[in-house]
Amino acid sequence: MATQIKLYRNTPQVIPPNTWTLLVFDTAIRNDLSMQQDLSLIVPAHDGDFLWARNVSWETLTIPAEDTRVRQFMSRFIRDPHGVRDDTGAADRVDSPGRDWDTVMWPFYGQHGQPVGVEVWHDHHESAAVRHAQFVGMTWDY
């Protein structure tokens, strides 16, 4: 049996600098086996191999002309973010002019009842906003 869950965010979420922050989504577009928890986590209903995907878009930053330092933006999948934290499928990038989009797909094993989320981090000197995000978990026959 194949299952799929897709969480979707289309309103800004403010992310403070220099701290990993769990994304919270606006809605579950698809929620097979009721795997969505608190609009921030996917909890597999069965053990199995999953294909996880995330899409994150940051708002445009306003940077003073004299500030030339490079800013870093990171995202990752996080297993059990409120317990024994275990990150995987992390990616980082430098800020570019305009909105940044980052799409990552990562296959890994999901355990029944172990929540998985998406966290983001940046080192801009002030808070930055994620303007859009998606989080998808898909599995196939167990």
Tell me which residue of 63, 61, 77, 71 sits closest to 120, measured CA to CA.
77
- How is residue 141 written in tokens? 């026959």
Query: Where do the domains of the chain lie?
Result: 3-63+70-139
The pLDDT of residue 133 is above 90 = yes
Does pTM surpass 0.75?
Answer: yes
| Torsion sign (Cα): 50, 73, 100, 58 | positive
> Considering the chain, what percentage of its residues have pLDDT values greater than 90?
42
Task: Find out if CATH 1.20.200.10 is the number for domain 3-63+70-139.
Answer: no
The pLDDT of residue 14 is above 80 = yes
Residue 102 neighbours by CB distance under 10 Å:
17
Query: Greater confidence, 96 or 73?
Result: 73
Amino acid at 1: M
45: phi then psi, degrees, rounded to nearest 5: -80, -15
CA atoms of 89 and 108, how far apart (whole Å): 9
